[in-house]
Amino acid sequence: MAKGTTLENEAAQSTTALGPLIGIAREDFIGAVALLLRETASDPQRMMKHAQTFGEDMVKIMTGKSDLAPDPKDKRFMDPAWQYNPFFRAGAQYYLAVQKGMHNWLQELELDDLERDRANFISNIIIDALAPTNTLVGNPTAQKRLIDSGGLSLIKGLQNAYKDMIHNKGMVSQVDKRPFKLGENIATSKGSVVYRTEMFELVHYAPTTDEVYAIPQLTIPPQINKMYINDLSPEKSVIKFLVDSGIQTFVISWRNPSKEQGVWGMDDYVDSCVEAMEAVKAITGSDKVNVNAGCSGGQTASIVASKLAADKNDILGALTLMVCVLHPKQLDIEAGSLVSENGMKLARRRAEKAGIIKADDLARGFAWLRPNDLIWNYVINNYLLGADPPAFDVLYWNADATNLSGTLMGDFLTLFETLAFTKKGEVEMADHKIDLSKVDSDLFILGGVTDHITPWKATYRSTQLFGSKDITYVLSQSGHMQAILNPPGNPKAKYYTQKKKGKLPDTAEKWLEGTEEVKGSWWPFWMEWVQKRSGKKVAAPKELGNDEYQPLDPAPGLYVVEER
């Protein structure tokens, strides 16, 4: 059974995020299962052969002659009982025999590459659900806990399950939310909302240095997660790192849309970003505003950059894109094979009808795409062992997701379907035709080695889309959000950069050949890059905002605590 810290790390790297997965419809799951059943029925002889092989494995298990053993790295079977107790050893071997039989059977089915990927993905979800560790009778660790606690672990597990049924819409909880309170022990950097519209708040953070760089930094967060991921704790706060480095720091806080606000589309979000940039410009007196953005916020920022270039508005300074894919390919991610044209049409239709996609529905869908990490781990921990889920700030933020406007979801699907960022002036969005080749801002792009949501090789493709002459690509050693939240002081931190300065290679593989590994956090490297593009130092402002944009509410603002 995974320990609390393992649970935290796994879930933190599987953060709900926008991408092609929003185009998966339940019909695509059903269709993939139907394909398996149809192929099975098409060749009874093949089915009989695999049934015979499976039967032989069963005989070996019953007679104690099976050599099937779990992968030593499979945390589900770490308890010594799986090795030394005959009952549990046989249980594990039965499960492994099913797993082996399913794998061999799929290998022989007459499927094309896409169908095979779909079949493998669906079968893995089914096999994971059948693991004996997911039940009390098949989990020796849970049985020991039951005996050691005198039955209290079972009672606590049932209480946890009841709470999830009543308060978490039937989904197993990934985090204990009780210890966290925004503004008190999470998102504590000093600042103030200096501008508010129906769609967003603009937060200005207080400088911590006597002098600041003249050109400010604006963060554009994803629309599906709240902005305080940038300020979870002082130890891993991007915002604190920015202000402590003399950067004038501003962050957009998107409002969680209600059903009536489901008409908000990419054009509205882009207009809001430009509006925020103009406010930052007015507050700081700078002609330029540097921007950083992650995940779907990076896609939004890229459209903002394209729109500004089309309008010949030179307000944008340097641009940083973190764990963001602009040139997706269907098989970049494990579940990509389930994305279909029909699925995307159905997803659009449902979004239009509902107005918004509810945050918990999105979270539920993502969890079932990685069930071992995001469901069964917590079923075992919370229900079978009767333990509380971990109290971890990244998980708290991840569980605090927002609704997604139906119109915006349609726009993200359009970006995926048309590969809009790879075209030059062919796809219209936000009142212009997207063309990144006209964007010449200095560019910093970050990927994560073990990122399952925005794979690093997919993020690297963005280096080939812009008209920028100065592009830096950095590869952080961790997964999705953990790649970003990798502050100085982390003993395991490392990153990769290109050895020789100059034009980046056209493929991720070629880039990797010319890289060097650097120990430590990538944050100081990025900060040096940002500071070089932030102008001269000036006296730090003594007050937040200005006469036109006066402080309204303390950071992190009202929209992050608003319930919808």
Backbone phi, psi, residue 205, to 5°: -95, 145
Q: CA 87, CA 93: separation in Å to the nearest integer? A: 10
Query: Could you tell me which of 407, 203, 201, 437 has the C-alpha nearest to residue 302?
Result: 437
Q: CA 208, CA 87: separation in Å to the nearest integer? A: 62
Query: Could you tell me which of 270, 269, 254, 247 has the C-alpha nearest to residue 318?
Result: 247
Query: Within a 13 Å sphere around the CA of 388, how many CA atoms are in the beta-carbon half?
Result: 8
Query: Within a 13 Å sphere around the CA of 46, how many CA atoms are in the beta-carbon half?
Result: 15
Q: CA 311, CA 509: separation in Å to the nearest integer? A: 36
Q: CA 205, CA 280: separation in Å to the nearest integer? A: 12
Q: State the maximum Cα–Cα separation within the chain, in Å, rounded to a whole number.
A: 83
Is 295 annotated as catalytic?
yes
**How many residues are listed for the chain in this entry?**
564
Q: CA 341, CA 338: separation in Å to the nearest integer? A: 10
Q: Which of 2, 251, 295, 339 is catalytic?
A: 295
In one-letter notation, the amino acid at residue 312 is K
Query: Within a 13 Å sphere around the CA of 23, how many CA atoms are in the beta-carbon half?
Result: 21
> For residue 79, what are its two tokens?
């308890």
Query: Could you tell me which of 201, 193, 186, 203 has the C-alpha nearest to residue 237?
Result: 186
Cα 123 to chain centroid distance, Å, stands at 23
- What are the angstrom distances between the C-alpha of 487 and each of 222, 224, 282, 381? 21, 24, 31, 29
For β-strands 289-294 and 217-220, DSSP reports them as parallel
540 by Cβ neighbours in 10 Å (0-12 / 13-18 / 19+) ranks as: middle
Which residues lie across from 423 on neighbouring strands? none
Q: CA 354, CA 194: separation in Å to the nearest integer? A: 33
Residues marked as catalytic: 295
